[in-house]
Each structure stands twice: as C-alpha cells, then as structure tokens.
Chain A
Amino acid sequence: MAAEIVFESISKSFGPVKAVDQLSFTVEPGVVTGFLGPNGAGKTTTLRMLLGLVEPTSGNATVGGRHYLEIERPASVIGAALEASSFHPGRTGREHLRTYAPQVGVDTKRCDEVLEMVGLATAARRRVGGYSLGMRQRLGLAFTLLGDPQVLVLDEPANGLDPQGIHWLRAFLRHLASEGRTVLVSSHVLAEVQQTVDDVVIIAGGRLVHASSLAELAARARKQVHVVTPDVTLLTQVAAERRWQLDPAADGFTVWDVDAAEVGSVAFARGLELHELRGRAIDLEQVFLDLTRGTGA
C-alpha cells in the first residue's frame, strides 16, 4: 500500500506567532523527499501536526488519505523519529524498543532485527545515557522501522552523524525509497541531504517557498565561471560590453550567468589572455539561501 503524505493549507499559530502559514504540499511514495528550511522555519511543527502531536489551527495533514489520529496502530503505518534526545537514559537501546513493541504490534525478535539493520546490535544492551548522538540517531531510526511502515518521517536524521554515518544513512534511505516507501527527511542544511533526496520542499517563515525535484531546483542555480587574467582592464571592458556581472574572487574573478565556453570564445575573439578558465559546480546551497533569505524569522 503506497501512501502519499498530503498537507492542505495547514496553519499553526502559537499565540500571535504564525509558526506555519497556509502550507500545502504532497510527498510522493518511492522517492526520498527533503523537507528543508532554516532553523525556526516551522519544519518540526509541520511534522508534529502530521503526527497528531500538535493540533493545527486550520488545515489538514493526511497519510494515505487518513488523519494520524484515525489510524489504528499508527506506528505500523508511519515510522517517525523527531528528536535524537527523546529516550530514557536509564533504558538500554533494546529495552527502549521492547518497551513500545506491544503498541507497535511486534515482538522482541523484530526489535533485535531493526537494531541489526541500523548497526546497533553490539550496543543494544548498553544504556542509552551512554550513547553518542550518532547512536541515538540510529536508535531513533530503528524505532521508526519497528512496525515496517510504508511511510517514514525523519526530523534532522543526519544531525550528529559522522561522515561514514551520513554515507550509510544516504544508502539506507535510498534503499527504503526503492522499496516503494514514502520517505520524508527534514534538514536545515541542503548539502547534508543533497545526495540523498529526489524531491525538495523548501519552507521559510512557515510558508512554502519552493517544491520540485532536486534537478529542477538545480536548474535555478546561477552559473559561475572562474577567470584568471593578467589583463584586468580588458576583462572589465569586455564584461561591460557583454553585460556580464563580474565579481572579484580569490586569485581572480567570477563571471555570473554564463558558461565557460562562452567566456572562452569571447576572450579568444578579443585577444584576452586567460591563465585560468573554469566553470564552477552549481552551488545548491546558494540557491537554498537565496530562496529562504529574508523570509526567515
């Protein structure tokens, strides 16, 4: 049963503060969707409304057409990990899972299975109080998998993971999505999920600012070419003629919104001596910053 997550003009006010404002978007099954925004953008509040923890002021959030509160044994439909800190420090990782297992509808064997899946098998019998942040993230992930749900909702799952951990998480989330699951991952750093997500939903100040595939987002990035020349005067002159935006950069200049081939051919035609000419990789983080700038709290 593939289930999509649908937010329909959902809003939440805390007193006079509009944390989430008329937010609408859909999260599709079979792909990993990044839910992005700066800190305080309303990501966690939005996820908590989906999960029945926070009551929306208005609007709807559904999974497979149903409200969270209407779902019998919801942990077998949606697995959610919201905070890396919400464990009793005196319980072992295994006991944490076993404690909730009856309501998820699984047995102890399944608890051991998911601990194995997230690479916590050897630490399963240690108290969570002694876990690193990365281990807590893994335990949170293990909890989401307990009921083998079709939908996964993870709030900042990469926080506290070391580079190997992030690499592992990417592969793991991609694998889950490839099984047809709906995977929603929030983050305040685009670079963290850039290599993991297929779709992006970006919010700022509680409002939707962008929703598309990652490829479409990348297409919005401004092209940049790095140029080094001994003849600064001529470069400046050519740039003015061609209406290129030219900015000084470390050991050279950045030319905006053109590709290296165009700069190269113009330079050749004008006899401009170039010592370096290089197209820069598109900077998604910059796109993200531009999209969310000025709308933050």
Chain B
Amino acid sequence: MNAAFRVELRKFLSTRMWWLLLVVLAAYMVFMGVIMAFTFTADTAQGEVANLLPVEAAKTVYSLGNSLGYVFPLVIGALSVTTEFRHQTITTTFLVEPRRTVVLVAKFAAGAVIGLSYGVAATAATVAGSAPLLAWQGDGAHLGNGDVLVTIALTVVSMTIWTMIGVGFGTVLTNQVASIVVLLAFTQFVEPVLRAALGAVDVLAPVGRFLPGAAAESISGASLYSTIGVFELLERWQGALVMLAYVVVLGVIGRLTSFRRDVT
C-alpha cells in the first residue's frame, strides 16, 4: 500500500499540471480576496452586506477557497484518473499493481495530499489578499479570533475532500474532456442554479443542503450563499459526512465500472 501511495504521489509531482493549477489557484484567490475584502469594507455605508458582523465578514472572505476556488482541487483530482486513461498509462499502472482496489485507494490518498497543498495555498493566498485590506479599511482582520482560525483550517480540510471527490468523479467518467466539461458545468452553473432554485422553495430547501458545494461550505461554516441569505447550512460534522459520502459513492461506482473493466 505504501509503495502504491508513493507511486500515485509521484504521478502528480512528475508532471507540470499540479503546480500550474496550484499557481493559478493562488493568484485567483489573492485577487478574489482583495475584491471581496474591498466589497465588505468600502461599501459598508450603503452595501446590502453591511449587516454582516465583522467577524462573519472575515470568515466569509477567508473561506473563499471553498466557495470559489474548489473547482481547482476538484479538477486536479479528476485529472489524476482521466490522464491515465487518456494516455493509456492505466495499463502500466495495473501491470505493476494488479490489485485494482489498492490502486484506487492509493489514488484517493495521494489526491488528499495534493488537495491539502491546494487548500493551504488557496487559503493562504486568500488571507494574504484580504487581511491587510480588512485590517486597514474595515473592522480588523480578526486573525487572532479562534473562531476565524477554525474556519480557515476547515476550509483547508474541505478543499482536501474536494480533491478526493474529483478523484472519485474521474473514476466514474474517465473521458478527460467530458469529465472536465461536466465538472466545470456542474460547479459553475448547475449547482449554483440548483441551490438558488431549491432554496427558493420551502419544502425543497433542505435538499439543497446536501449538494456537494453546500456541504463543503457547511464544513468551513461560512458561505457566500448563506451570507446572501439563500439558505441555511448543515452542521459542520454533517457537511463533512456528506462530502465523504460523495467520495465513497463515486469511488465504489468507479471500482465497479472503469476499474473493473478489461484494459484493452
């Protein structure tokens, strides 16, 4: 298992994609951190979000990785599986480790490590971009507040799980182009619309909480959507369980389909 894990980690680290996406993610989060901090501070006088408590505002800004940046860990996770099918390296992978469940578990483990690095980079970038502005123009950066620090740490955790969901999704949809298109469409369009639509109907509102994006935001305990008042989130532990359930379900489906088939 240890060897399988090391091999899967090397697969990430021996190509340029993982750090290219990491750099783009960090740059994006610095930028969005600045923008959001600016929104929460400069517009205090007349903005609609002015009723947010300063600490809540800080939490919402610091957890932006989770609200906006999560597509990066999701995509790098999916790529770790789809590139193997695209370049047929899956043949070599199964030659050196014919126990396919071992390969799958190792992929999840390596994906978690890469996801952790994405979470740390994204969150550090967000804080770097927003904290100075919050401290200078707003009510303070609140980086000494324990509650805020918990939110930051849990944002890293949920971005880690996002990568694992990506790995699971890659095993279900191994076609690289299709996989990326579906992930982008779902995260950037389908889920936001669904969350808004479900949130607007009282009976359906609870269903929306179980969407992966909503579950992820409940882990960090701060949400752009709930801030805007669309709907309530799950408890933290519930959100974590929901996300892990997505990982397990996708992984099991992948094991029974693409990871069970003949490799021809």
Interface residues of A (CB under 8 A from B): 44-45, 48, 51-55, 68-69, 71, 74-75, 80, 82-83, 85-91, 95, 98-100, 102-105, 143
Contacts and interface: CB of A to CB of B under 8 A. Distances in A.
A87 B2 CA distance: 23
B96 A90 contact: no
Contacts of B87: 85-89
Contacts of A75: 95-96
Interface stretch (B10-18, B122-130, B143-151): B10-18
A99 B83 contact: no
A259 B188 CA distance: 79
B184 to A, nearest CB: 22
Interface residues of B, number: 26
B89 A87 contact: yes
Contact of B91 (A86, A99, A102, A104): A86
B95 A80 contact: yes
Nearest first, the 3 A-B pairs at minimum CB distance are A86-B88, A103-B96, A54-B262
Interface in B66-113: 83, 87-89, 91-92, 94-99
B91 A98 contact: no
Contact of B3 (A54, A83, A103): A103
Interface of B: 2-4, 6-7, 10-11, 14-17, 83, 87-89, 91-92, 94-99, 262-264
Given A88-B83, A103-B7, A98 B14 contact: yes
Contacts of A74: 95-96, 98
A91 B96 contact: no
A102 B262 contact: no
Given A53-B91, A54-B262, A69-B98, A102 B10 contact: yes
A217 to B, nearest CB: 29
Contacts of B88: 83, 85-86
A69 to B, nearest CB: 5
A86 B86 CA distance: 9
A105 B89 contact: no
A55 B260 CA distance: 10
B7 A88 contact: no
A68 B94 CA distance: 11
Contacts of B97: 103
